Structure 1
Amino acid sequence: MTVFILVAGAFTGPYVWRDTAARLVAEGAEVHTVALTGLGGRPAEPGEAVDLETHIADVLAVIDSVVVESGGDIVLVGHDYGIHPALGAADRRARSVARIVHLDSGMPRDGVPALAAVPDQRLREELTEGGGVQEGQAGELPPPARDAWPRWGSTAGLSEAQLDGLTALAAPQPLGTLLQPLRLTGAVAAVPVTGVLCTGNGPGIELVQLMVDLGEPAIQALADPRVTFFELPTGHWPMLSCPAELAEALTDAAAGRGHRLKPADAAEPPPHLRPFLLDVPERPRERTGNTDLYLPEGPGPHPAVVFVHGGPVPAGARPTPRDWPTFTGYARYVAGHGAVAATVDHRLHAFTDYGRAAEDVAAAVERVRADPRVDADRIALWFFSGGGPLTADWLAAPPAWLRCLAANYPILAPLPSWGVAEARFHPVRAVARAGKLPIVLVRAGREMAEIAATVEEFLTAARRCGADVEVVDVPEGRHGFETLGPTEEARDAVRRAVGAVLTRLTT
């Protein structure tokens, strides 16, 4: 018999599992929900410091009772914060746990507190900076108000009644549970893992595969054959929004089913390093700092197109993005058509890095404009993928010299799981202030659902305010279509997009 042990996330308790647990039981499984101290379990004693170790002990008690009473195959499920005590307990009972399920949760590491995984960046800063709370400090974090739950994850899929219930039953989170670092011996690494990704809240399987392809060591471990994945098209609380679908995914996970990621193949380049889809000749290139210039024929001054890569890209990724075939290919193509092209490396290494990435891009743009071979009054900026949020600054206050802003398969609103609290990097909101700035948007017809939703939201906002947007559709195109196998449709899309941008630079 499969035995599921379910550990709820921040502010919540066993009650959130009611419908999912009932489905699992109906399918013949045994189900235990962990009542964490102060969160549906026993109340804390006066003066007791409830911390992560307290909650790990709560999970261990359930594991040990199951081992004694039933001896079934234990599948330990941790949602949100709940993955931290679940992993801590599994590390100490690795031989008793058959599989760990990360339910819309992060990848906790040894020595890192749960606070690091809290999606609300502003809250993290409040708790750690300027004399904020420290590990070992007593106290509680009040539960979210009804309209504040999105700070902790997308509420997509929740009915008004469910949101009311979530709010009414929420309990304060003991601060020690967020601040005490997780301690792992490494034994838990031997336990098979499943990730259930809620695409209404964060990345889906395809985007995780792209992150594996980029070579981040921590992400590479997700391509282990013992790791499987499922997607649910909902927000951060699937046990409430789609309990039947969640129960089905958990049952399949227990059986070892699910999608497996493809590991990096040393004999085959990953998609982002495959050849550009157009055969473009070499052009003269000059490198200064984080910026490469590709030069057209003639002395100039020429209009210029600055290409801005997406991300996050691991800090140690080599080659860096300005040497990836997509960007060198676009740059050579543009230079061959009479404009200076610039490719830029910036420091978007995590979702919290948009501020410093914006600084890098702004500095590179000024460096390009200062070059005597560049017409400083005719500049286009072209953003890709996760670089989409960086468009917000330029949309909100477009300078007179910015003649066009382009974006390929962009993310145009921060995903809820990113923890990007600043309204600054939200193009959907910024487009209302774009005025007459021409925008060229290259839309992939087979885009990931979580990204496509932000594009449609942006286009709706653009229509509402009358923004000048030209959409170049690639109906069969996927995210990063330029290096995913050349097709005539994709080649035509590149030509049309470049033509649209250059037309706006020269008129």
Structure 2
Amino acid sequence: MTAFILVAGAHTGGWIWREVADRLRESGAEAYPVTLTGMADRDGAAGPDTDLETHVQDLLRLIDRLDATDMVLVGHCYGIHPVLGAADRRPERIARIVHLDAGMPRHGDRALALVPDEALRERLAKLSDAAGDDWRVPPPRPEEWQRWGSVEGLAPALLDRLTDESVPQPAGTLTQPLQLSGAVYELPSTGVLCVANGSSIAMVEGLVGLGDPRFQRLTDPRVSFFELDTGHWPMLSRPAEVTDVLLRAAAGEGRRLAATPSEPPAHLRPFLMEVPERRRERVGRVDLHFPDDVTGELPDDTSPRPAVVFVHGGPVHPDTRPTPRDWPAFVGYGRYVAGLGAVGVTVDHRLHDLADYGRAAEDIAAAVDLVRADPRVDENRVALWFFSAGGLLSADWLAAPPPWLRCVAASYPVLAPMPNWHLVGSRFRPAVAVRTAGRLPIVLTRVELERAEIAVTVEEFLAAAAESEAGVEVIDVPLGRHGFETAGGAERARHAVEQAVRSVLGHLSP
């Protein structure tokens, strides 16, 4: 008989699993909703010394007293940290681990990354000796739950219940590093991704395709995936679907990712049009693609040229090769605008993790300074073009456009942090920044078959732009997908690229 041990996220307890547990038992399985020390009706059992190890021990005591031969540990959000800690010490007892809208923390990681409040996160990170009230993190207020995860699918009564029954979280559970020997990585696992909270199988496949070594183990045949079309609390919003997915996961079902793709990953496929090679200069992290008549020394009869700076998305692991400026799409764009008389600029910025947006923004600013200082570039005619998750980096430029910035473009962009991207600072919200963009021209290429979790950020951006009367031109790509420039080169896709480039260069006219 399968026994499910159900471990909830921060500020909640076993009560959140009540309906799922009942349904599991009706199916013939055993179900054990866990209330960890200091949580729900056990809040009085916690003290300043309550930490992640306390919660690991809670689970170990339960595992040791059960005689089930087929034990599945389910961790939701924060709950995956004690689940992994306990499974790592009892791997012989565990049949499968289920990550229910939860990350993949590694040895040494802290659950602090789940705290959406930047100031609170920084304060807790510096906390060395818990004292007074510092050892407890207050639960979210009703209007704050959305910051901890998407509340899509939660009826008002359920959101009220989530608020009423939440309790302070012992700070040590968030600040103590997870200790893993590595045994847990040999166990079968299933990821249940909640699309409305910013996760999807397509997104995971994209990360694997980028060659990030942290995600390569997701191609192990013992790893499977499911999607749920709901927010971050699926046990409340979709209990029947969660029950079904857990039973199927225990049976070994779910989507597998290909370990050896039959074709190159999407980002390494050819650009959708043949573009002649142009002279390229590499300066640090920056590549400049020049028109044919612009040489190393600018002739007296040649005027400085406008520049288009292309900003890739990510995160991209620092060991990924080739780096983005050598990917066919960005080389293609750089050559294409160079062939039309502008300088095409590509940049390898350091967006290696969700916490790196600040550093990536610095890299883009430095690249722009370098380009504008080049005598072959007209410093007063520059456009910035952002792609995918690099779209968040447009926020600084939209919020306070400098006079030399003639246009901002974005292709299949992410324009607001996903609900589960807690490490992305509040500074990087183009859907807010566009309200102060004024009449800055914005060219947005939107694909019809965009991932749902990204499409909602684009609609949020366009709604804010309309309210503030920002100058947005939308170029739609019928049947286009994320990264459409390397997806086969259909005529409608080529037309969209040509139209977007013409529009951007039009804004760079003298």
Offset, 1:314: 0.7
> Quick check: 1:321–1:345 contact (8 Å CA) kept in 2?
yes
**Bigger Cα displacement from structure 2, 247-256 vs 277-286:** 247-256
Paired amino acid for 1:294: H
Deviation string, structure 1 residues 133-187 (Cα, Å, up to 9, x no partner): 4589982222222222233222222222111111111122112222222222222
Unaligned runs of 5+ in 1: none
Aligned residues: 501
Match of 2:109 in 1: 112
> Quick check: 1:334–1:498 contact (8 Å CA) kept in 2?
yes
Match of 2:171 in 1: 175
1:481 to 480, 484, 488: 484
* Distance in structure 1 (CA, Å) of the matches to 2:392 and 2:77: 25
Offset, 1:300: 3.0
Match of 2:33 in 1: 33
Closer, same or farther: CA 14–45 of 1 in aligned 2, 3 Å: closer
Match of 1:235 in 2: 231
Closer, same or farther: CA 170–46 of 1 in aligned 2, 3 Å: closer
Identity of aligned residues (%): 61
* Distance in structure 1 (CA, Å) of the matches to 2:370 and 2:55: 53
> Quick check: 1:120–1:420 contact (8 Å CA) kept in 2?
no
* Distance in structure 2 (CA, Å) of the matches to 1:40 and 1:240: 16
> Quick check: 2:6–2:32 contact (8 Å CA) kept in 1?
yes
1:300-319 equivalences in 2 (<5 Å) = 300-319=303-322
1:89 to 76, 86, 91: 86
* Distance in structure 2 (CA, Å) of the matches to 1:420 and 1:21: 32
* Distance in structure 2 (CA, Å) of the matches to 1:272 and 1:310: 11
**Bigger Cα displacement from structure 2, 301-310 vs 37-46:** 37-46
* Distance in structure 1 (CA, Å) of the matches to 2:444 and 2:357: 21
Offset, 1:268: 4.3
Paired amino acid for 1:474: V
1:438-477 equivalences in 2 (<5 Å) = 438-477=441-480
- Tell whether 2:221 aligns with 1:218: no
Match of 2:3 in 1: 3
* Distance in structure 2 (CA, Å) of the matches to 1:212 and 1:119: 26
Paired amino acid for 1:160: P
Describe the SS at the equivalent of 1:328: helix
Closer, same or farther: CA 84–420 of 1 in aligned 2, 3 Å: closer
* Distance in structure 1 (CA, Å) of the matches to 2:153 and 2:327: 38
* Distance in structure 1 (CA, Å) of the matches to 2:48 and 2:207: 42
Describe the SS at the equivalent of 1:194: strand
> Quick check: 1:162–1:240 contact (8 Å CA) kept in 2?
yes
Deviation string, structure 1 residues 282-336 (Cα, Å, up to 9, x no partner): 0001111211111113333111111111111111111111111110001101100
Match of 1:187 in 2: 183
Match of 1:342 in 2: 345
Describe the SS at the equivalent of 1:360: helix
TM-score normalised to the size of structure 2?
0.94
* Distance in structure 2 (CA, Å) of the matches to 1:348 and 1:41: 42
Paired amino acid for 2:492: E
> Quick check: 2:354–2:424 contact (8 Å CA) kept in 1?
no
- Tell whether 2:276 aligns with 1:281: yes
Closer, same or farther: CA 135–113 of 1 in aligned 2, 3 Å: farther
Match of 2:123 in 1: 126
Deviation string, structure 1 residues 58-89 (Cα, Å, up to 9, x no partner): 1122222322xxx2421110111111111111
* Distance in structure 1 (CA, Å) of the matches to 2:231 and 2:349: 31
* Distance in structure 2 (CA, Å) of the matches to 1:274 and 1:394: 31
Match of 2:53 in 1: 53
1:118-157 equivalences in 2 (<5 Å) = 118-129=115-126, 132-133=127-128, 139-157=135-153
2:436 to 433, 437, 446: 433
* Distance in structure 2 (CA, Å) of the matches to 1:136 and 1:182: 22
Closer, same or farther: CA 45–251 of 1 in aligned 2, 3 Å: closer
Match of 2:291 in 1: 296
> Quick check: 1:306–1:382 contact (8 Å CA) kept in 2?
yes
* Distance in structure 2 (CA, Å) of the matches to 1:463 and 1:45: 52
Offset, 1:41: 5.9
**Bigger Cα displacement from structure 2, 443-452 vs 464-473:** 464-473
**Bigger Cα displacement from structure 2, 392-401 vs 137-146:** 137-146
Offset, 1:264: 5.2
Match of 1:13 in 2: 13
* Distance in structure 2 (CA, Å) of the matches to 1:78 and 1:119: 19
Closer, same or farther: CA 191–489 of 1 in aligned 2, 3 Å: same
Paired amino acid for 1:108: P
- Tell whether 2:82 aligns with 1:79: no
Paired amino acid for 2:5: I
* Distance in structure 2 (CA, Å) of the matches to 1:142 and 1:133: 18
Deviation string, structure 1 residues 185-224 (Cα, Å, up to 9, x no partner): 2221221000111122222111111111111111111111
Describe the SS at the equivalent of 2:181: coil
CA RMSD, Structure 1 to Structure 2 (Å): 1.9
* Distance in structure 2 (CA, Å) of the matches to 1:46 and 1:263: 44
Paired amino acid for 1:183: Q
Match of 1:249 in 2: 245
Unaligned runs of 5+ in 2: 294-301
* Distance in structure 2 (CA, Å) of the matches to 1:335 and 1:390: 24
TM-score normalised to the size of structure 1?
0.94
Closer, same or farther: CA 234–133 of 1 in aligned 2, 3 Å: farther
* Distance in structure 1 (CA, Å) of the matches to 2:129 and 2:55: 18
* Distance in structure 1 (CA, Å) of the matches to 2:433 and 2:287: 29
